[in-house]
Amino acid sequence: MNPWRFGRGFGKILALLAVVSGVGCGDGGTKPGSSIQERNPATAPLDYLAVQGQAKKHSEGVASLAQVQQALQQFRATEDRWPEDLQELVRSGLLARLPPMPAGQRMDYDPKTGVARLAR
Handedness of CA 86, 90, 91, 94 (dihedral sign): positive
Segment 26-60, tens digit of pLDDT: 444 445 555 555 777 778 777 777 777 677 666 66
Model pTM?
0.55
Residue 69: CB partners within 8 Å, gap ≥ 6?
116
Q: Residue 80 — very low, low, confident or very high, per pLDDT cuts 50/70/90?
A: very high
**Domain boundaries in the chain?**
64-120
Q: Residue 79 — very low, low, confident or very high, per pLDDT cuts 50/70/90?
A: very high
Question: What is the pLDDT, as a whole number, of residue 74?
Answer: 94
